[in-house]
Structure 1
Amino acid sequence: MSVRQLKDVAFIDLEASGLSARSWPIEVGWCFAGGSPKAMLIHPDEAWSLDDWNPAAEALHGIAYDDLMKEGVAADKVCERLNNALAGKLVFSDAPDWDGFWLYRLFQAAKKRQRFIVSDFSSIFRSAPPEDVDRYIAEAERVAPRTHRAIPDVLHMRALYELASPGL
């Protein structure tokens, strides 16, 4: 894979207020196969209810509602930055259904059109023998453990991608 192609492969992860049908995104992170990770806390939109804030989710990701109110970026600015970074790229998520749902909520709140498609990260491993996948997962957990925060989780995906795609 060429350097140009590496720049076209990205990984995205979202953290959320919970796992309900009305949950909303609170953090988004992304990185490219050959680049530095980026992340943004998301300021709660007025259409999102605090009733959908789950204390168990907060305990898992460690992001407090007050942090979002103080440090979060407005949905329209987050969407603009995501579109600018990811439009035309091959974007992978390890939870495309949930991340796709939260991206939908984010772009809906911003009244903007999402200009990138999120693909299932597991598709990278479809032709790999299961024992290789197990080895990749163990090694990626060692070098880039998942923490339920956006940057560590995209770095974990990138580590898995690099292990599964030797010679990049």
Structure 2
Amino acid sequence: MEASGIHEGSYPVQFGWCGLDLEPSAILVKPEPEWTPSLFDPNAYEMHGISYDAAHTLGEDAEVVAHKLNAALRGTAVVTDNQYWDGLWTARLADSTGVPILFGYNDSTNMASTFRDIYDPWCLDRRGSLFEAVDRFYPHTHRADEDALRMATRTRMLIDRDWSEWLLARPAQQPVARRPFRLR
């Protein structure tokens, strides 16, 4: 998830999610009337490249976003790298739209216990190299869909030996330079 900033009154501007199929999805949120430009921290744009104007012009109505999120994620526990802020911004979406959120969050630090029974021992033995490969090929970009993909790869690398072998065998490549947000 990306937001207008990390401060009181900040609000969501982009939600992203990705399953273990590694097919990410994202949705840009049009700010609600009370989500004003004055609450949009300029440093947020520096982080994720999404401006208030881009969210306002290209984003979908917040109520539509809430319904789409529920349709895609209903009954799941979404893995997050910051349960506090992601939960706060999701609650802000629910409060602003009146649409109850039908999914929850599981902090990524709890994943070891969540998936312990299905981890592949071969993958666990190589987790240091696997984390390095994920960092190389799936960098933390502060784009909701790309960061959701990164979170999914960090789970899949420990349960899918074939995929992990492929990941470790991939030749190194130069990271792609980030571009400003554009509608894809």
**What is the match of residue 159 of structure 1?**
153
Instruction: Report the TM-score, using the length of structure 1 for normalisation.
Output: 0.83
Hey, which of these two has a bigger chunk of strand by percent? Answer: 1
Find the counterpart in structure 1 of residue 176 from structure 2.
Answer: none
Q: Which residue of 1 aligns with 2:175?
A: none
Pairwise CA distance, 1:48: 1.6
| Partner in structure 2 of residue 4 of structure 1 | none
Distance in 1 separating the partners of 2:95 and 2:66: 10
**Paired residue for 2:141, among 144, 147, 153?**
147
Specify every segment of 5 or more residues in structure 2 that has no aligned partner in the other structure, as ranges.
163-184
When Rg is computed on C-alpha atoms for both structures, the one with the higher figure is: 2
Conserved in 2, the CA contact under 8 Å of 1:125 and 1:133?
Answer: no
**Alignment equivalent of 1:70, drawn from 41, 50, 57:** 57
1:84 corresponds in structure 2 to: 71
Taking the aligned partners of 1:145 and 1:25, their CA distance within structure 2 comes to 21
Map residues 1-168 of structure 1 onto 2, 5 A cutoff. 14-125=1-112, 134-167=128-161
Q: How many residues align?
A: 154
Q: Where do 5+ consecutive residues of structure 1 fail to align?
A: 1-13
Q: 1:109-139 CA deviation, whole Å, 9 max, x = no partner?
A: 11110001111122123569x9965444322
Query: What is the TM-score when the length of structure 2 is the normalising length?
Result: 0.76
